């Protein structure tokens, strides 16, 4: 459950709504393997290997979201063997206006799947709406208490909609199809409470399988007599949840169907062979035959192995759907879908940019790489590394540049305390390093509680910025409502025209990118529209655009022009780079 919108101090009025397991007992390790804990203080359950089902009130809107950490596989949240994942997208039920208005469900997609773990299937009818349910969570064990380190479970009896609606004014607007109630009506004492929001209410079916019947939503207080817990009624939303899940990688497989593992979104580079991407299937009758649609050109899937291999040839973003068919008659099939991004082949030159976001989970080390090719000899003694990292506590971070031979150069070592974000260009003596090869930006989060992501970074191995024919502007430029602003980069010392595959990594912080028109303006005034009011209500632009600038001389002042063409939302240009 969650708190009501307004907490009141008067005893005669309804107290806050709190969800948590009150009157519970410790759950055994592995007893509920599909239970997850979400870093914003909610619970959830594995719907598919890549999707978490939780409450709508636990998230804020639909769109890209890399800020949620998912913990699974341990009843103890401090267990060193726990499994953690980072979110990359959130889908909130359309029409959700608050717990009292119903539709309290949401899906969270993880950046990498949790494979080999049983999933919690959803009820699709009312046959289980009776008897005793089980609830579980890490929420408070008493009303107003603190969150728990260990997973608690409890049994709560079913309460009819009519009886639940009679519980008082707060329950009078109960939506019968949308909500289901449970708790000890007469004596109270057992309930979910604050911190259990989004977690499942479940029971065993006739086949002894756990089935999710509800999602912890709201209630008055915790475990009070005649104030039962209210849960989103899963069977009523099962089809809508499945339809939403299908757009995020796949719906839950029904009993007797086939489940196909999802390797998560893939990223590769045109002209560079990939490491094999494998898929596995469960359910049905082995062996399986495999097929795929939407593969990037140059890649193929083994019909008997389910493994994708090859060398992508064409840059772009592709939606890949992999299908497994079993050996039974009639044939059963299962599918999984994900996005595959192929970056352009590196443009020969001493400067390269990686504009792909890389999540930095708590207490983890991640890397982002660029490939330098066609740059003669060693790197320069005044090489530069322009770094843009979004993080809420940069004192947690150790940032290093790793040369192709493995030598590490520390750029940032846990300075800055509680300041947000690293937007800085570092000068590094790389004269002992061969310029060509794979360079990495390594970021270690060395303390708990804060997370973020690598936004973009650029290595200029030549040692002098202007002749590299690449420039970066890291100065923030505010984008007021209904205005046009500019940010400029001066290029000098280069010869000839730009490349037919020039790149423009753009990082714009804005709360509604559907308002924005983003244009690159060449020194002669020619314009190249990069983004034209697409993306709707999504937050932020973190994209590398490829532009044909072969008709434009490199030298001169280049401008990133950003127009806010609609009311209500604002933001700022964080950084941008032009690589000619």
Sheet containing 527-532: order of strands: 484-491, 556-564, 516-521, 527-532
Alpha carbon distances (Å) from 339 to 134, 241, 262, 281, 511 = 37, 20, 11, 19, 24
Active-site option among 4, 15, 57, 191? 57
Within a 10 A sphere around the Cβ of 416, how many other Cβ atoms?
16
Note if 197 is an active site residue.
yes
Closest CA to 296 of 277, 323, 283, 324: 277
User: Which two tokens mark 194?
Assistant: 């604050």
Active-site option among 104, 196, 445, 515? 104
SS3 state of residue 77: coil
- Across 480-509, b (16+ Cβ under 10 Å) vs e yields eeeeeeebebebeebeeebbebbbbbbbbb
Q: Are 193 and 200 in contact (CB under 8 A)?
A: no
Active-site option among 197, 337, 368, 369? 197
User: Distance (Å, rounded) from C-alpha 512 to C-alpha 262?
Assistant: 30
Alpha carbon distances (Å) from 414 to 327, 361, 403, 441, 444 = 56, 16, 21, 16, 10
User: Distance (Å, rounded) from C-alpha 270 to C-alpha 344?
Assistant: 5
- In sequence order, which residues have a C-beta less than 8 Å from that of residue 391 and are 6 or more positions away? 360, 397, 420, 421, 422, 445, 450, 451, 452, 453
**Which run of H or E residues covers position 163?**
helix 161-165
User: Distance (Å, rounded) from C-alpha 570 to C-alpha 15?
Assistant: 37
Closest CA to 469 of 389, 401, 552, 529: 552
Closest CA to 475 of 358, 386, 401: 386
Q: Are 409 and 427 in contact (CB under 8 A)?
A: no
Tell me which residues are annotated as active site: 57, 104, 197
């Amino acid at each position: 459950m969650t708190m009501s919108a307004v907490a009141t101090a008067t005893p005669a009025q309804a107290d806050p709504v709190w969800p948590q397991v009150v009157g519970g007992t410790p759950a055994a390790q592995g007893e509920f393997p599909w239970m997850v804990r979400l870093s914003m203080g909610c619970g959830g359950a594995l719907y598919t290997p890549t999707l978490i089902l939780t409450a709508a009130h636990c998230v804020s809107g639909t769109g890209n979201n890399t800020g949620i950490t998912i913990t699974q596989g341990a009843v103890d949240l401090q267990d060193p063997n726990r499994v953690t994942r980072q979110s990359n997208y959130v889908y909130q039920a359309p029409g959700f206006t608050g717990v009292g208005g119903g539709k309290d469900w949401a899906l969270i997609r993880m950046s990498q799947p949790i494979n080999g773990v049983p999933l919690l299937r959803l009820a699709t009818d009312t046959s289980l709406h009776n008897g005793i349910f089980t609830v579980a969570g890490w929420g408070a064990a008493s009303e107003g208490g603190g969150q728990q380190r260990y997973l608690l479970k409890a049994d709560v009896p079913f309460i009819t909609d009519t009886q639940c609606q009679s519980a008082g004014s707060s329950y009078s607007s109960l939506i019968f199809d949308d909500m289901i109630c449970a708790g000890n009506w007469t004596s109270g004492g057992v309930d979910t409470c604050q911190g259990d929001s989004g977690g499942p209410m479940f029971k065993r079916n006739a086949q002894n399988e756990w089935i999710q019947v509800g999602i912890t939503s709201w209630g008055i207080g915790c475990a009070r007599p005649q104030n039962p817990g209210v849960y989103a009624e899963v069977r009523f939303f099962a089809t809508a949840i499945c339809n939403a899940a299908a757009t995020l990688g796949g719906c839950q497989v029904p009993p007797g169907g086939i489940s196909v593992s999802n390797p998560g979104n893939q990223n590769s580079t045109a002209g560079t062979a990939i490491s094999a991407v494998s898929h596995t299937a469960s359910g049905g009758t082995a062996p399986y035959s495999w097929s795929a649609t939407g593969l990037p050109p140059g890649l193929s899937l083994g019909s008997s192995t389910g493994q994708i291999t090859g060398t992508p040839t064409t840059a772009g973003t592709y939606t890949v759907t992999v299908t497994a068919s079993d050996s039974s008659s009639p044939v059963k099939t299962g599918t999984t879908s994900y996005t595959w991004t192929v970056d352009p082949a590196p443009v020969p030159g001493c400067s390269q940019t990686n504009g792909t976001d890389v999540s930095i989970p708590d207490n983890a080390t991640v890397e982002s790489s660029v490939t330098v090719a066609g740059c003669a000899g060693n790197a320069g003694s005044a090489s530069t590394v322009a770094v843009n990292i979004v993080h809420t506590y940069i004192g947690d971070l150790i940032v290093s540049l790793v040369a192709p031979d493995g030598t590490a150069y520390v750029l940032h070592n846990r300075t800055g305390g509680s300041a947000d974000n690293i937007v800085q260009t570092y000068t590094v003596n790389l004269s002992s390093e061969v310029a060509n090869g794979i360079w990495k930006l390594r970021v270690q989060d060395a303390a708990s509680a804060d997370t973020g992501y690598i936004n973009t970074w650029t290595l200029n191995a030549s040692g002098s910025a202007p002749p590299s024919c690449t420039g970066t502007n890291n100065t923030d430029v505010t984008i007021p409502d209904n205005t046009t602003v500019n940010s400029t980069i001066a290029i000098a010392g280069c010869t000839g025209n730009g490349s037919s595959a020039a790149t423009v990594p753009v990082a714009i912080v804005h709360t509604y990118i559907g308002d924005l028109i983003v244009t690159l303006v060449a020194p002669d005034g020619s314009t190249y529209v990069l983004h034209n009011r697409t993306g709707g209500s999504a937050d932020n632009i973190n994209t590398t655009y490829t532009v044909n600038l072969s008709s434009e001389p490199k030298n001169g002042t280049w401008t990133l022009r950003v127009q806010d063409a609609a009311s209500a939302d604002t933001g700022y240009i964080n950084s941008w780079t032009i690589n000619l």
